[in-house]
């Protein structure tokens, strides 16, 4: 744009009382009456090669604010959400509370945002709005009530480690590819795949098909064709057993997984009789079921994270995860993973490390303040069937 056009544009902006917006040739293609919110345009010719198109008025849609996660640890409250808008990174998300606390943040370019507020009050009321100052538009108010007088009901999506328990059973794939046979050493192509995550590490040689039983919705009891710790068999993993067999199909969720044989923990404890009836069906995406904090020099982690990593959080998902269509994890996944620290800050990992096709992902953090919670936005991590995760979170425990 030459200097005369810049001056002319500035003059029109300053002197016209009816102009709502000017067409930005660098960002918008097509006539101004095709720009969302701009109507009744008038094209004015100011000489050779100079035509400025003016909208008599523009009505821009207000940002749409949504909340995907609210996590309360008794003192720090973390809220995650999304903004639906043409320019989400220009939006200001503002929170105010009944304790006269006001904080704000800006979403990233994908519209994801997070806010944290600290309070020891028993009952807290939060109002959240999203505003686009340039267009003077504001979202509807989202109201959140935190009531700490009510006992926890235990229905969170992230069960943490307990002695001798199954954290999750994930009916993840209804037809394993031929390459999966390498995990078992014999042909399992066409079997269903069901990763079962335990709260403790297991003795490798005690993991055999005869130690498990899957009860289907039609009443059939199925002994798996294969039970293996592969591919999650690295030193800090060894808690996820991949079961394969005929476990049902879409709409026919297995009802129960039981340990029926001499399955042993790493310390030699028998897991005979341990079971779960909480089985994620084929149509649902993966969740984080365990988050463990380690120092970067822990055996098995050396060299995995960047040099300036201060702590590592190992995320255990219900099943193996990648980006969409089996793509490697990238910036979308990193920026959609938020970690709440002990000092109240919420940060993205410095890097996400996933060097093999299992259900463990390392979140490398540059901050020294210990990680307390991990929160992941929806639609970023995909299972082998290319089904994306729901919004998920987990409290961080010491590994």
Give pLDDT tens digits for 260-277.
Answer: 999 999 999 999 999 999
Q: Is 326 helix (H, G, I), strand (E, B) or coil?
A: helix
Span 121-154, pLDDT tens digits: 999 999 999 999 988 899 999 999 888 885 444 4
Cα separation, 267 vs 184, in Å, equals 24
Q: Is the pTM of this model over 0.95?
A: no
Cα separation, 56 vs 336, in Å, equals 39
- Per-residue burial over 61-90, b = 16 or more CB atoms within 10 Å of its CB, e = otherwise: ebbebebbbbbbeeebbbbbbbbebebbeb
Round the average pLDDT of the chain to a whole number and report it: 84
Cα separation, 94 vs 129, in Å, equals 5
Span 182-224, pLDDT tens digits: 999 999 999 999 999 999 999 999 999 999 999 998 889 999 9
Span 14-55, pLDDT tens digits: 333 333 344 333 343 444 444 455 544 455 454 555 555 544
Would the pLDDT of 316 be above 80? yes
pLDDT at residue 54, rounded to an integer: 47
When mean pLDDT is compared over 65-74, 79-88, 153-162, 236-245, the highest value belongs to: 236-245
Cis amide prior to 188 (ω within 30 degrees): no
Cβ distance 98 to 124 under 8 Å? yes
Segment 225-231 mean pLDDT: 96
Would the pLDDT of 161 be above 60? no
Structure tokens at 336: 């959609």
pLDDT at residue 26, rounded to an integer: 35
Residues in the chain: 399
Span 324-347, pLDDT tens digits: 999 999 999 999 999 999 888 889
Full set of structural domains in the chain with CATH: 3-58 (no CATH), 64-147 (2.60.40.10), 155-284 (2.60.40.1220), 285-399 (2.60.40.1220)
């Amino acid at each position: 744009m030459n200097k005369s056009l810049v001056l002319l544009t500035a003059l029109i902006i300053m002197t016209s009382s009816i102009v709502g917006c000017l067409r930005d040739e660098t960002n918008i293609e097509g006539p101004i009456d095709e720009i969302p919110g701009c109507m009744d345009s008038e094209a004015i010719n100011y000489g050779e090669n100079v035509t400025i198109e003016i909208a008599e008025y523009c009505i821009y849609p207000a940002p749409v604010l949504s909340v995907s996660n609210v996590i309360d640890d008794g003192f720090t409250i973390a809220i995650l959400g999304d903004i639906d808008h043409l320019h989400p990174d220009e939006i200001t998300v503002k929170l105010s509370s009944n304790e006269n606390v006001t904080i704000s943040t800006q979403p990233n370019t994908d519209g994801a945002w997070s806010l944290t507020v600290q309070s020891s009050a028993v009952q807290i009321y939060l109002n959240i709005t999203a505003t686009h100052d340039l267009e003077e538009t504001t979202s509807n108010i989202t109201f959140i009530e935190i009531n700490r007088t009510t006992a926890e009901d235990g229905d969170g999506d992230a069960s943490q480690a307990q002695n001798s328990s199954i954290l999750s059973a994930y009916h993840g794939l209804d037809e394993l590819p031929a390459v999966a046979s390498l995990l078992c050493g014999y042909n399992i192509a066409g079997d269903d795949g069901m990763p079962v995550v335990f709260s403790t590490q297991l003795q490798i040689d005690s993991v055999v098909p005869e130690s498990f039983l899957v009860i289907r919705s039609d009443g059939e009891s199925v002994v798996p064709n294969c039970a293996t710790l592969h591919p999650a068999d690295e030193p800090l993993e060894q808690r996820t057993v991949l079961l394969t067999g005929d476990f049902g199909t879409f709409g026919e969720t297995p009802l129960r997984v039981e340990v029926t044989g001499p399955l042993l923990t790493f310390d030699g404890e028998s897991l005979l009789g341990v079971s779960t009836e909480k089985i994620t069906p084929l149509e649902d995406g993966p969740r984080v079921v365990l988050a463990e904090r380690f120092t970067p020099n822990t055996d098995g982690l050396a060299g995995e994270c960047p040099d300036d990593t201060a702590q590592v959080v190992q995320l255990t998902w219900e099943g193996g995860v990648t980006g969409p269509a089996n793509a490697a994890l990238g910036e979308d996944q990193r920026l959609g993973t938020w970690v709440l620290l002990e000092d109240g800050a919420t940060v993205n990992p410095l890097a996400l490390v996933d060097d093999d096709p299992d259900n463990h992902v390392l979140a490398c953090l540059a901050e020294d303040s210990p990680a307390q919670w991990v929160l992941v936005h929806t639609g970023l991590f995909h299972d082998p069937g290319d089904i994306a995760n729901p919004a998920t979170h987990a409290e961080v425990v010491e590994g």
